[in-house]
A and B are shown apart, each in its own frame.
Chain A
Amino acid sequence: MSSKDLAISVQGLSKAYTLVHNTESHTRAAEALLYKLKNPFRSAERTEEFWALKDVSFDIAQGEVVGIIGRNGAGKSTLLKIISRVTAPTEGEIRLYGRVGSLLEVGTGFHPELTGRENIFMNGSILGMTRREIARKFDAIVDFSGVEAFLDTPVKRYSSGMYVRLAFAVAANLEPEILIVDEVLAVGDAEFQKKCLGKMSEVAGQGRTVLFVSHNMPTVLNLCSRVLMLKEGHIALEGPGEEVVAEYMRQVIRGGAEVGLDQHPGRTPGSEKILKALGLRNKSGAPATSLRMGEDFSLEMHYDAGRPLSSPRCGIGIYNHLGIRVVSFATFFDGDYRAPEWSQAGTLRCLVNGVHFTPGLYFVTVTFGDAHSDLDRVEQASSFEVTPWDVFQTGVIPRPDQGVVYAPCQQWEQEEAGS
């Protein structure tokens, strides 16, 4: 590949944020002034530097679709913000070979009092389009959003779904050479998400460069030819999608027979900390970190809500190493299970018979709620390994690439032709 095909070149990029300690922070000018008067020679604040990014370098070629993954706080959003010029780097340099369009949030600049039509123009010009460009794409935007009947209604009267659809439609019709997208697809219904992903593949298919952050591993695998994994502000790994995603899943997720969930990084922001621990038990009820193929197992959730919950319920999702959801268990799938009318703390146990995983690493996501809503959710709370076992008693063991699950009871019959 020749050098002229470069789209983005990042060299030694670092970003430091100054954390001001609460004890001596002055957000009121009078306090700051008073402090300055009292301590004229001392710097006003006790500060600490936090490096959100540290010496990050990478190149992206034109037409590449690159995913950025990493835990919350790994520096993903900071990186996108610097490339989009929302914030300035502390050190390093970025060279961009093409016009950049970035979408760090859906609907930035939407104003509730303005109509759909007015917001399309407002939002479009914030994203860097000229009015003529917006006018030219107006029909395509309206068409994509599916809100034509409400174009002259203030968006404060829109449903949240319509709002998101319109907002994405504007951004989707940006036509930059380099498209930068933060995790914006977490909103909207499934059908619309599909439409958005379709639009992104289309953009990529036109030979434009796409750089995007996502927590959704199947999406990353689907769209990206290359993946960068950020960890504590530096690039921990980069390479082909499957390789990096699998490594991310392995690193990020804690294993163990009993995983404490109090300080778990996978907890969805805004959740109540109700789930306390998640344990895996093997067939005989002993704590386990791995299971044989075909082995029955149980999962134990310890919870403490600190207040009585009405009819607590629980859902569990099992994901494979590429982040694809293999199977779900839930209290409401069990016709015989009766939740207590009220419960404050306790243990929920889910006994699972007859799930037939092929060998590999699996991840557990737990959601806990009461009769009304989901209250707590910990993504990829723990993991377990399924080890090979001669399940067919033939010495031939089904491999992961032959399926996420295998079917233990398969009977083959044969009829000879012309007999």
Chain B
Amino acid sequence: MDITTPNTTKPHLVIRPSKGWQALNLRELWRFRDLFFSLAERDVKLRYRQTALGVIWVVIQPLIAAGIFSFVFGRVARLPSDGVPYLVFSYAGLLGWNAFQNTVTKASASLVQNQALISKTFFPRILLPLSLLCSTLIDFGVALIMMGVLMAVYGIAPTAGLLLLPVWLLLILMLAAGIGLYASAVAVTYRDVLHVVPVAMQMLLYASPIAYSVTAVPARWHALYMLNPLSGLLEGFRWSLLGRGPLPLGSLAYAAVVSLGVLLAGAIVFQKMERRFADVV
């Protein structure tokens, strides 16, 4: 019996030390596509299990926030809202913002929350943060219906710009996923990230045109303000829904480049750190 003779058939799989930068293994992602949906399904099912109001929370939360914004910024501070009722105006901003914030927040905690899976089973780890996008999309859909209701109530007719809404949403999710991937990978080693993210989100909430319009930003701060890719994206988002003002093409082009760059960078860093997760988490 000699089983040490060189093998001539092609192995199913060769495991070697991880070195350098690795390309995303698409074949493997495809093989585990069902896990993507299982994880997404678990996320959706668990979120509203044992809650009395269930998915209605998706609408209640931004409605309350929009109500607060329209009182504080609309009534008290008397900021302009592009000629749209303040409630609708800020709800439209929150719609885009929540998709962004939910993705970043949930994705960044996704690896730490699934320690047992990571240290005991093999699958492309990137599925953990990415599968959460499904529930974000469902939430977005529900909140969008409420947007329609609000527009009907206030008599705002949708414009052709609505057709571009999926583009802005896609760019927002790309940006969020990139940040989420990076944050989740770093959080495996440094749990601080999980404390930093909520604070950063709070700052970003006020540094982006959600509760107020870009026109309310003083002109000398404008250039700096537009460095935040969300500024352009949320303006575009609001333009698509409410059809007011010009489309900020320049800042949208800039935001598109940044979103793509952030997503690629996040995915590359994630991929680079992936094989160490089980040892560190």
Contact = CB atoms under 8 A, between A and B. Distances in A.
A166 B278 CA distance: 25
Nearest to A182: B120
Interface string B1-36: 111111111011111111000000000000110110
Interface in B71-120: 116-120
Contacts of A347: none
Given A83-B15, A94-B15, A109-B116, A128 B45 contact: no
B222 interface: no
A3 to B, nearest CB: 5
A368 B82 CA distance: 78
B48 to A, nearest CB: 11
Given A85-B122, A126-B121, A131-B34, A96 B13 contact: yes
A3 B15 contact: no
Interface stretch (A98-106, A140-148, A275-283): A98-106
A118 B12 contact: no
Interface stretch (A22-30, A259-267, A304-312): A22-30
Interface stretch (A4-12, A319-327, A403-411): A4-12
A284 to B, nearest CB: 53
A137 interface: no
B278 A3 contact: no
Nearest to A99: B12
A353 interface: no
A29 B49 contact: no
A122 interface: yes
Contact of A111 (B42, B118, B123, B190): B42
Given A59-B3, A125-B35, A85 B15 contact: yes
Contacts of A6: 3, 7, 9
A219 to B, nearest CB: 21
A59 to B, nearest CB: 4
A87 B275 CA distance: 6
A214 B279 CA distance: 22
A90 interface: yes
Contact of A126 (B12, B15, B49, B117): B117
B154 interface: no
A127 B15 CA distance: 18
B190 A9 contact: no
A84 interface: yes
A202 interface: no
Contacts of B119: 86
A104 B120 contact: yes
B7 A118 contact: no
Contacts of A91: 17
A29 B275 contact: no
B32 A128 contact: yes
A114 B46 contact: yes
Contacts of A96: 11-15
B38 A29 contact: no
Contact of B191 (A27, A59, A82, A126): A27
Nearest to A17: B279
A156 to B, nearest CB: 11
> Closest 10 A-B residue pairs measured CB to CB?
A95-B11, A88-B275, A94-B15, A85-B122, A125-B38, A125-B35, A87-B278, A29-B190, A29-B192, A59-B3
Interface of A: 1, 3-6, 9, 17, 27-30, 32, 59, 61, 81-100, 102, 104-105, 108-109, 111, 113-114, 118, 121-122, 125-131
27 contacts: A3-B8, A3-B9, A4-B9, A6-B7, A17-B279, A27-B189, A27-B190, A27-B191, A29-B190, A32-B190, A85-B15, A86-B121, A87-B278, A88-B276, A89-B16, A95-B14, A97-B11, A100-B13, A108-B117, A109-B117, A111-B46, A114-B42, A118-B45, A122-B42, A126-B117, A126-B123, A127-B121
Given A3-B9, A84-B121, 17 more contacts: A3-B3, A6-B9, A9-B11, A59-B4, A81-B278, A88-B276, A91-B17, A92-B17, A93-B16, A95-B11, A99-B12, A108-B121, A109-B116, A109-B121, A118-B41, A126-B123, A130-B34
